Amino acid sequence: MQVALQSPNSFSSTSPLSRGQVSRTAGVGQVTGSRPSDFPDSPFISTRPLRYNVQLNEQLTSVQQADNFLRKVENHLLALRQGVSSNGAVSAAKLQKHADSLTSLMDKRNAYSGGTVDRRLNAVLGEKQPQVNFSLQGIGNVLQKPEGETLIFSLAGTKRDIAAVTIRENSSPSQVLRSLNLGLGKFGVQGKSVDGNQVVFAVNESQWERVSEHLSVRGEGQRYPDGVFYPLKAVAEPAPEDTIRKVSDNLSGARSQLRDIQGILEQVNGQRRQLMQIKDNVRSRIDGMATFQNEGAALQASAILSDKLSSGSNDFSTVTQALGGQANVRSLTVRNLLG
C-alpha cells in the first residue's frame, strides 16, 4: 500500500472537508464498536500455553502405549490360564504358543511399550524411568558394624566409575545407608530400608545389566577386604516376567503356577483400570481447553471475522479523511471538537 503525502496547501485547495464535516468524525467510534458476544471469548484453539498441550499429548500417548502392551499380555495370560486349567482340553502346542508369545512380549517389553511398563508390569508414566529393585548380598553386615571405614565402589563396563563413601565410627544403620546413597547415587543407585531391617536398592533398567555384573567395592579390612576390589552380588527382586519365563520353560508344570498366573492377571487388570481412568482425565482436560465447543461455532466465528475485516476498509477511509481535515484546522478547534 502506498500513501501520498500532501502539503497543507494541497489540502486547502482540494479537500472538500469543512468544519461541519470534521464534526462527523465522532461517528467513527460507533462504526468500530462491537459487542463482546459477537465473537468467541478467545480466537485461539486453546487458552493454555503450548507447552501444557504438548505435555498432555505426550501423557496420552504414554498411556495408550502402556495399555496396548498390557492388553496383549492380558489376552495371552487369559488363554494360558484357561488352557492350563482345562485338564488337557487345550493342546500342548497351543499352550506353548501362548507361553512363547508371552515370553517374546517380556523380552521386547521396552520396545513394545515404549518404556512405559517395568518388569513388574507396572505402568511408568511421565518423566519416570522403569526401575529394577534389587538387594546387595552382605549389606546387612555393612550396616550393623560400628567401626569407621572408607569404602571405594567401582562400576566397570564400557567405562569405569569410582565413588568413595566414608562411614564414621559408631554410625547407626540409617546413617550408614545415607552415606551409601551419597556414594552409590553417582551410579544411579538408591537404597531404602523396608520394615527397618531389609534394604532394597533401585536402579534404572538401562543401568541394571552394568550394576548386576560390574559393581565391586574395596574397604579397609572391616567390612570389605583392603587392597582388592570385591565383587558385589546384586539379586533382582522377583517379578511377574520371571514367573512367565518359568511357565514357558516348563509347560508340564504350569498347573502348579496357576495361582501365580492369576496373581499376574489381577496385577495387569488393576494397572489397566488405572490407565483407563488416567486416559479419561487427560481427554477431558484436552476437550476442556477447546474454544469452539460446537461444530458450527468455528464457521460462525469465521463469518463474523470476515464481516469485520470487510468493514475495516471503510473505517480506514473515514479516519484518513478526518486526519486530513484536522491538518487544515487550528489545533484549538480540534481540541474543542474532540474534547
d(CA 92, CA 253): 12
Average pLDDT over residues 187-208: 90
Name the amino acid, one letter, at 168. R
- CA 189-193-195 angle, 5° bins: 150
Share of the chain above pLDDT 90, in %: 44
Is the pLDDT at 316 greater than 90? The verdict is: no
Residue 189 scores a pLDDT above 90? yes
Q: Is the pLDDT higher at 88 or at 262?
A: 262
Mean of per-residue pLDDT scores for the chain: 80
The CATH number of domain 131-238, selected from 2.60.40, 1.20.950, 1.10.10, 3.10.50: 2.60.40
Grade residue 32 by pLDDT with cuts at 50, 70 and 90: very low
337 pLDDT band (50/70/90 cuts)? low
The per-residue b/e assignment along 279-307, b for 16 or more CB within 10 angstroms, e otherwise, is beebeeebeeeeeeeeeeeeeebeeeeee
Q: How far apart are CA 210 and CA 313, in angstroms?
A: 71
Model confidence band, residue 314 (pLDDT cutoffs 50, 70, 90): low
pLDDT digits (tens, 9 = 90+) for 254-279: 888 889 999 999 999 999 999 999 98
Q: Give the distance between the most distant pair of CA atoms in the chain.
A: 110
Q: Are 301 and 309 in contact (CB under 8 A)?
A: no
Torsion over CA: 199, 205, 211, 212 (sign): positive
* Higher local confidence (pLDDT), 290 or 192: 192
Does residue 59 contact residue 125 with C-beta atoms inside 8 Å? yes
When pLDDT is averaged across residues 100-107 and rounded to a whole number, the result is 91
Per-residue pLDDT tens over the stretch 131-180: 999 999 889 889 999 999 999 999 998 899 999 999 999 999 999 999 99
Q: Which residue has the cell 559393581?
A: 215
Mean pLDDT across 16-23: 44
Contacts of 140 (CB under 8 A, 6+ apart): 199
Q: Under a CB-based contact definition with an 8 Å cutoff, are residues 222 and 147 in contact?
A: yes
Backbone region of residue 137 per phi and psi (left: phi > 0; alpha: psi in -120 to 50; beta: other values) = beta
Pairing outcome for strands 234-236 and 131-136: antiparallel
- Which helix (DSSP H) or strand (DSSP E) does residue 161 occupy? strand 161-167
CA distances from 310 to 38, 256, 268, 316 (A): 16, 79, 60, 11
State the pLDDT confidence band at 283, using cuts at 50, 70 and 90.
confident
Domain limits, the chain: 10-43+291-338, 50-121+241-288, 131-238
Q: Within a 10 A sphere around the Cβ of 247, how many other Cβ atoms?
A: 26
Q: Is 111 exposed, middle or buried (0-12, 13-18, 19+ CB in 10 A)?
A: exposed
What are the two backbone dihedrals, phi and then psi, of residue 130, each rounded to the nearest 5 degrees? -60, 135
pLDDT recorded at residue 304: 78
Q: To 10 degrees, the CA torsion angle through 181, 184, 186, 191? A: -50
Is 61's pLDDT higher than 70?
yes
Query: Which of 32-46, 189-203, 207-221, 320-334 comes out lowest in average pLDDT?
Result: 32-46
Helix residue ranges, H only, 85-172: 92-107, 109-113, 139-144
Q: Work out the end-to-end distance of the chain between its first and last CA atoms, rounded to an integer number of angstroms.
A: 32
Cα 217 to Cα 151: distance, rounded to the nearest angstrom: 7
Q: How confident is the model at residue 31 (pLDDT cuts 50, 70, 90)?
A: very low
